[in-house]
Each structure stands twice: as C-alpha cells, then as structure tokens.
Chains A and B, each alone.
Chain A
Amino acid sequence: MNDSLVVPLAVEYLRLLPEIILSVFGAAIMMLEAALSPKSNKTGLGILALVGIALAFLGNNIAYSQPGPAFHNMMTVDAYAAFFRGLVLVVGFLCILASFHYLQREGVQRGEYYALILFSIVGQCVMATAADLIMVFIGLEISSIATYILAGFVRDDRRSNESALKYFLLGSFATAFLLYGIAWIYGISGSTNLKYIHTYLTDQTQIPSILAGLAAALIFVGLAFKVSVAPFQIWAPDVYQGAAAPVSAFMSAGPKAAAFAVFFRIFMTSFAPLNQRWIPVVWGCALLTMIIGNFAALVQTNVKRLLGYSSIAHAGYVLVALTSYSQVGVAAAMFYLFSYALMNIGAFAVVGYVASRHEQFVRIDDLAGLGRREPVIAGLLAIFVFSLIGVPLTGGFFAKFYVFQAALDSHLVWLTVIGLINSAIAAYYYLKIIVAIYFKEPSENIARLEPPSVGTRVAVWASALGTLFLGIFPSALLSFASVSAATFR
C-alpha cells in the first residue's frame, strides 16, 4: 500500500465495474422516469434494469479476471466476492422478471421500483467485495435503505407500510449495533481493515481479549439482525408478510446472502483468532434459529408468513455451516445461499401470482386445487417446496447435505442430528402447501386466475430449472464455491 498515491489505477475502477454499471443504469432509470409521462407504460424501464443487471454480470466476470484489492484495500475482488456479486445479480434479475406483472396488477408500476432494486444490488455488491469494516457499513446502508423503501412500495396498503416501518426501525437499530462494534474494534486495533484486525488479534500479547470479544459480539448482533438469526429474528415474518411478494422474494434472498457474505468474511478472517469464543455462541444461535423458525412455521396459515418463518429456519442451517468453521463449511454456505435464493424466489413468485389483486389470496387454503387450475405452475411450485424440504435431486437437498457434511467433519454431531431432525419437522409445514395444491378441491369463491405473464413464467421456470440443475449436477457451482472458500485460512 502506497500512502502517497492518491489517484486510483484504471484496474481498480475495473474491479468496481459491476457497481459502476448498476449505478449508471439506476440513475438513468430515475431520470427517464421523470421524463416519461405518469400514465405511460413503465415496462421499458424494467427491461432497461434487466439489461443493466446483465451488463453488470458481464462486468463481474471482467472484474474477476483482474482479481486483487482496490482503493487502498477498501475492497477486494476475489472468487468469494465474484460469487456473491453473481448471486445477488441473479436474484435481482429474477425478482424484476417476477415483478412486471405484479406491479401492473397492483397499479404501482413506477420506475423508481427498478432503480431501487438496482441500488440495493449495488449495496450488496459492495458488501460482497468489502475488505474494510467501513465499506461493510456503507454497502449495508446502501442496500438497506433501498430495501426499506421497497418494503413499503405499495403505498396505500396498510401492511406494506407496517412492513417498511418495522424493517426500517429494527434495521436501523441493528445498524447502530454494527457501527458501535466497528468503532470499538477501531479503538482496540487502530484499524478497520479486516486483514489488519486479523493480524492484530493473532498477536497473542496484544489482545485485550474482553474488549475484542465485546466488539465481535456487537458486530455479531448487528449482522444477526440482518440475516434474521434468533434471537434477533422477530421482524422477519411481519416484514415478509407485509411487503409485496416479489419484494419479499428479493429481501429473503439478496440482502440476506450479502449479509451472510459479510458475516463469513468478518468472522472467518478478522475474528478467526477469537474462534474459541464465538463458535459456541454461533452454535447456540444456529440451534435456536432452526428450532424457532421451524416450530413457528408449523402453525402458520398465511403462505408468505410461512415462507418468512422458513427463511429464518434456513438462516439457521447456514449458521451451522459457519459453526463448522472450515473451508468446506464456507463453500457449503455459499452453495446453500445460492440454491435457497432460487427456490425461495420461485416460491414467492408463484405465491405473488396466485395471490391475485391486492394479495387477497395468500392463505394456504387459497392454493387449494392449484394442481387442477394451473397444472404447470403448480408443478413448479411443488419443485420449490420439495427443494425447501430437502428432497434429493433438488438444490435444497444437496445444500443441506453439504452443510451437514461440513458440520460432521468438524465433529458437530449433535448439531447435525438436531438440524436434520428439524428438517424432518419442517417437512410437515411445507407439505401443507403440497396438500393444498394437489389433495384439495379448488374452492368456489376464488377468482379465476389469468394465465401467468411472460415475465413470471420466465422467472419461475428459470428458478425451477436452476433448482433441479443444482440438485442433479452440483459439481460446477460447488467447485467454484470451494475455490472461493479457499480464500479463508
């Protein structure tokens, strides 16, 4: 690091390429929105956003071809970062596809929606590449603020407002914890650089261990809020239930994956020297998260709320991977987040489609007879549900399998046994969806479904094929995840 050098090199901008592309497209969409008449069709802006994401995906590949640090070690482009950038871009792409029809139906099709998704992805990309706690904070805020607005995007809907407010208040509260932790660790080590903190803490003689532990705890609390890990999960079901279905899909996949990316990076590098202290805490939280998520989901009747609780449970499985504290564990978590994103977006997209105008049909019973009414969509929803259960030949199974293999290799026998039993319990509530769509007759007071739009169709089919592909041929993604995980230790 050369302190006198102020002007960044061209290659450093190249490493920031996805963020640059997304910001440009986001800003352009905002401008165009202002220029267009309020009555005009905004689908074009959505397509522009899709183009932006596709280009950013390309940009991610270009950035990854030049790996290395950038901007005075504030960020770093490695395989790990490229993986998560790719993941959040895919998430954004699928969610926008699923949104077209939804926004039109609810009468809230405005250009800002697409711009906000792009900005949120910018934040998540920054989080994925952050090599410094300050960058973590900035990325998290960019992502969160955009997501708060998205949560309340259906302005005249009471629950959407509640969702946004809850998400905002609790989210800011969590950010405060994170920031306090960052300040504390800066006070101890004199730096916010992740690698430097690692070196500093490794040096046994210098550790003011209680203080460092507290700093780690504060950062843990802040991030645990973001990924909805028990006991900081309370906001999740309300927020996912209230927000528009495609936004819930987005929130449960993108921001969560990015927050986990940061989680793993901080705890596997900076706080690796303290692993004896935090592993037991994460162990307990993982257990609690799986149990709370699954048991609370058992009694839900609203599908979105059920998926909200299930997303808590799935966060617990990812934490199991962190508890294993190994490269295999990191790779397993990465694979898990990817396949979870696909199946969850698919499930939410179908729910958003079936819900009809103003989301009036979101109870499990409203799915009754979907297998007769829309056999194709029902079949795809069944794939997502079986993947969420963890039935083989779907991505969900292999993800779980890999996570628990990592856990067993790290001798976490009890966590594995309880985690797997949890997944058997989870089968019960997921199957309620299958029961509704295949075993029940369609009820009479349900409006006829119009056939799904092209965007919804593409989003759902892509998620379903991706889910199956990951279940049958996981090698490609797995190898990349393993390579990425080699960054740690």
Chain B
Amino acid sequence: MNLLLVTLFLPLIGFFIILLLPRNSKAPFTAALLITLATFLASLGLIGPVVRNGSQVSSAVDWLWISSPSMQIHFHAGIDGINLWLVLLTTLLLPVAVWMTNSVIAEDRRKPFFALLLLFEFGIVGVFSVLDLFAFYVFWEVALVPMYLLVGSFGGPQRVAAAMKFFVYTMTGSVLMLTCILYLHHLAGTFDYLEIYSRLASGQAVLGPEQQLLLFLGFFAAFAVKVPIVPFHTWLPATYTEAPAPATFLLAAVMSKMGTYGLLRYAVALFPAGAHHYARGIATLAIIGIVYGALLALIQPNIKRLIAYSSVSHLGFIVLGLFTFTQQGTDGAVYQMVAHGLSTGALFLLAGYLEQRRGSMEITDFGGIASSAPGLATAFLITLLASIGLPTLCNFIGEFLVLQGAALTKFSWAVWAAIGVILSAAYMLWMYQRTFLGKPNARNASFPDLRGADWISILPLIALMVWLGCYTQSFLPPISAATSRILEQNRQNEEYRVQLPTQVTELRHER
C-alpha cells in the first residue's frame, strides 16, 4: 500500500468521520487526534526511499483523473528531497494543533474546528506532494477554504474583515497563477510537472524568454501573496492576529511554506530565465522584507503581531536564499522552511497559551511572569533563541546557509540580511524582557505555568529544533540532492536554450 496515499487521504476520510460524530462530546477530539497521529505515522514511512536518493521521486501515484478529448489530467503525486520534510512538518504539526485546540476552543464549537483542521491537512499535504499543475491548483484552493472558515468563525473581534481580506487577496493571486497554468498547458501540452520538466530538459518544449517572464510573473503573484513577500503582506498582520491560536500556528508554520515551496518547485524550476531576470528585484524585496519586518516587529505592542512581523522577516531569508541560485542558498532556503515552521509555529503555540491564560496579547498586560511560570518562560526562551538563530538551534543552519549563498552572489545582500538577524535578536529579547522578566505586578504574581498537557505539545517541537540545529546530516542530504538537480538543470536550460530566441518553437497541443 502506498503510504503517500494514506498520508493524503486519511485526513479527508477523517473530515467526513468527524462530521458524523456528535457535537458535545469527547469523540471529535479523540477521532481527530487518532487520525492526525495515524497520518503522521504513515508519513514517517515516506522518509526511507527519499533518504536513499533525494533527487528521485518516490512513493509516486499516477492516476488518470479527468479525460476529455481536449485534455488529459492526471492525479500525479510523489515525494522527493524538496517536499519530504514539508509533508512531515505538516503531519507532525497537525496533532499538535489538534491538541492545542482541545485546550483553547470552547467545547461546543470544537467539532467543526477539528473537521476543518483535517480538511486543511488534506489540502496542505496535497499542495506539497502533487506533481501536476492542475492538481496543485486544486489543492492550493482546497487548503484556503478551511483556513478561511477557521479564521472567520473562530477568530477575534475583527475576524470577518480579516478573513475576507485573506480570501480575496489570495484568490486574486491564485487566478493569475491559474491563467498561467492554462497558458503553460497551451504551450507544453500537458499539466504533468515531471513531463513538462523533462520536455523542457530535452528541448521537446521550449519556452521563450518573453513567455517565461509572463509565466513567472503569474506564478510569482500567487506565491508572493501567500508567503507573503513585501509589499504583498498587508493581509498578514490582520489575519495572524485575528485567527484563533491553532489557526495562527498553522498559518505561520505551514501555510506560509506553500508560497516558498511553490517558488522553488514551480516558479524557479520551470522558468529559469524569468527567475533570473527578476532575481535582483525579488532579492531586494526579500531584503526589504527582512529589515522592514524586523523594524515593525520592534515597535509592536502586541505579542502576536510582533511574532507575525518577525515571521515576515524570517520568510524574507527563505526567498532570498532561493533567488541566489546557489547550492548553499537554495539548501538553506529549504532547510529554513522547515526550521521556520518549527520555531515560528512554536512561538505562536506558546503565545496561544499566554493568550489563553491572560485573555490578552498586549505586552503591557504581562511582565515578570517568569517567577510564577518558570516552565513557560524556559520553553519560550528556547523557542525564541531558535527563532533568532542561535547556533545549535534550527534557524541558525538555514539562515547561515542563506547568508553564505547571498554572499557568494552579491556581498551587499548578505550584509543587509545580516542586519535583520541583529534586529531579530533585539526585538525578541526586548519582548521577552518586558513579558517574562522584571517585577511582576499584582495580576501577574500568580501566572499559571504550563500544565502537563501543554508540555506534550511543545516538547516535541523543542526536541526537533535542537535536532535540526545539531544534526544537519539527518536532514540536509536529500534536500541537496533534489535542489542540485534543479540548479543544474536551470544552468543548462539557460545556457543552451533560453538565450536563443530565434529557435523558439512552441510545441502545439494537438487538438
């Protein structure tokens, strides 16, 4: 039995099971937890073949899905070095989100929450694992709907406006991508990613420079909104702040990776000429994002908003790494996707516990709670140090590789990006100082510490942060294997084909 199929469709089955369960009972929680854990266990089985050879697609599924005289659409999915860790990150974080939901959402509203979480998992795992552009778009939107409903039904006071902004923004980017998917199908004659890729590699299909620019921009629009890259980030603070804690956790940890993953897998890999043409501009935007996000984080009075802006800043590193087109930069970007998912996810998780205890996220409402809640303070400190990029913790590896890649490409990029690292230490530690240290006022004198149940959700994340920070060798080789193939292919495509516009021929799709 193909484990990828289990990983993909178990959450969907779970979604229907939960819909059928009674509303006011423990059953939805138990079912959601068991299903997400089973999904996680199934996904562990995906590691083996990829570690042996990360550049090859393994656990592949290829079905004929829709067939009509004018097109053949396959359901094609598989795992390689690029998406392996992202799929695992998703399947790992979902049980955590379920666990967290159980303690922060009122009991009579948990059932729909769990159902939507599972539908979301289905969408996200689909986005990361499919290798067909049509299916990719389908899952891309399928992941959007449950998140929209989560933010809109369970969020804070401004939730309706935030959810609306989130949906319409993302949808606008997505339809531009859809246009480009259709156009690419028109040019290459298929929706299948690997097929397009091999047709481009063999010269059977050639995309001229101008076509590449257009296609790249269309895909970039969708991904830039989703990441988000400055200046397409304006939906983010509102959505992150208003969303219920488990949804913010997933938005930051998993959903932002949809954009960065898409950039690497589709925008950079398929349209190298377009990517190279806009690389300078995008890298500049990424650096602006790093510095601007950090500066905004510095002045935020609200913990959730602060982490949201710090997330924008850290995501800038990933984008920067991708557009250095170096082995180090690209590896660092993929590594950072996982590391950022863990560290920012854990920060939002802990922020969720803070919010649950105090009923507020304003920094001024806290202060000196370390003395009464030492466990919470310690967990927060470790996570925060990971986020800053302290060596031996996860973000350090990713950001270091990105900076190295940036320095190889253009030294000034590395300098500017490094400023972001310094700033991140400043705003994070300052926030920590104001929240946890100092003399507690009367309200904070007896702040409840993390309970045993809360530790269950945070400990695995901390353990992984350390693992990713110390034992790079467990994770990096399959990533490098896959990215080096893309980079090599890009180089060839650029040198031999793309610069010869006179030889541009279109492979017409026979009607």
A-B complex is real: yes
Could you tell me which A residues sit within 8 Å of B by CB distance?
Answer: 326, 328, 331, 371, 386, 389, 391-393, 397-398, 401, 404-406, 408-409, 413, 416-417, 420-421, 423-424, 427-428, 431, 434-435, 438-440, 473-475, 478-479, 482
A416→B182 contact, CB < 8 A: yes
Complex-state Cα separation, A153 to B84, whole angstroms: 61
Which of B173-181, B380-388, B401-409, B460-468 makes up part of the contact surface? Answer: B173-181
B66→A435 contact, CB < 8 A: no
Among the interface residues A397, A424, A478, which one has the most CB atoms of the partner chain B within 10 A? A424
B172→A408 contact, CB < 8 A: no
B168→A405 contact, CB < 8 A: no
Q: Please name the residue on chain A nearest to B149 by beta carbon.
A: A438
Instruction: Report A-chain residues with C-beta under 8 Å of the C-beta of B145.
Output: 386, 391
B66→A423 contact, CB < 8 A: no
Say whether B459 faces chain A, with CB atoms less than 8 Å apart.
no
Complex partner residue of B67 from A413, A434, A479, CB under 8 angstroms: A479
**Minimum CB–CB distance for A420 against chain B, Å:** 4
A409→B68 contact, CB < 8 A: no
**Minimum CB–CB distance for A316 against chain B, Å:** 15
Complex partner residue of A428 from B142, B144, B164, B182, CB under 8 angstroms: B164
Question: What are some 18 contacts across the A-B interface (CB < 8 A)?
Answer: A328-B70, A331-B70, A386-B145, A391-B144, A391-B145, A392-B138, A398-B66, A401-B178, A406-B70, A408-B179, A409-B70, A416-B179, A424-B175, A427-B171, A428-B164, A474-B66, A479-B68, A482-B68
Instruction: Report A-chain residues with C-beta under 8 Å of the C-beta of B175.
Output: 420-421, 423-424
3 smallest beta-carbon distances between A and B, as pairs:
A392-B138, A420-B175, A478-B68
Complex-state Cα separation, A406 to B71, whole angstroms: 11
A478→B182 contact, CB < 8 A: no
Complex-state Cα separation, A424 to B141, whole angstroms: 12
Q: Give the bracket for the number of chain B residues in contact with chain A.
A: 35 or more
**Minimum CB–CB distance for A392 against chain B, Å:** 4
Chain B, range 44-84, C-beta contacts under 8 Å to A: 65-71
The 8 A CB mask of B141-171 against A (1 = contact, 0 = none) is 1101100010011000001100110011001
Instruction: Report A-chain residues with C-beta under 8 Å of the C-beta of B70.
Output: 328, 331, 405-406, 409, 482
Say whether B186 faces chain A, with CB atoms less than 8 Å apart.
yes
Instruction: Report A-chain residues with C-beta under 8 Å of the C-beta of B149.
Output: 434, 438
Chain B, range 464-511, C-beta contacts under 8 Å to A: 509, 511
Q: Please name the residue on chain B nearest to A404 by beta carbon.
A: B182
Instruction: Report B-chain residues with C-beta under 8 Å of the C-beta of A428.
Output: 164, 168
Complex-state Cα separation, A413 to B149, whole angstroms: 33
Instruction: Report B-chain residues with C-beta under 8 Å of the C-beta of A424.
Output: 168, 171-172, 174-175
Interface of B is mostly: helix
**Minimum CB–CB distance for B510 against chain A, Å:** 11
A393→B142 contact, CB < 8 A: yes
A328→B511 contact, CB < 8 A: yes
Instruction: Report A-chain residues with C-beta under 8 Å of the C-beta of B509.
Output: 409
Complex-state Cα separation, A422 to B139, whole angstroms: 21
Instruction: Report B-chain residues with C-beta under 8 Å of the C-beta of A473.
Output: 66
B142→A408 contact, CB < 8 A: no
Say whether B455 faces chain A, with CB atoms less than 8 Å apart.
no
Say whether B185 faces chain A, with CB atoms less than 8 Å apart.
yes
A439→B152 contact, CB < 8 A: yes
Complex-state Cα separation, A392 to B230, whole angstroms: 28
Q: Contacts A392-B137, A404-B182, A479-B67: A420 and B176 contacting too (C-beta < 8 A)?
A: yes
Among the interface residues A392, A404, A406, A409, which one has the most CB atoms of the partner chain B within 10 A? A392
A391→B141 contact, CB < 8 A: yes
**Minimum CB–CB distance for A285 against chain B, Å:** 21
Complex-state Cα separation, A398 to B511, whole angstroms: 19
B160→A331 contact, CB < 8 A: no
B163→A439 contact, CB < 8 A: yes
Q: Please name the residue on chain A nearest to B175 by beta carbon.
A: A420
Complex-state Cα separation, A420 to B176, whole angstroms: 7
A438→B68 contact, CB < 8 A: no
Complex partner residue of B152 from A391, A438, A478, A479, CB under 8 angstroms: A438
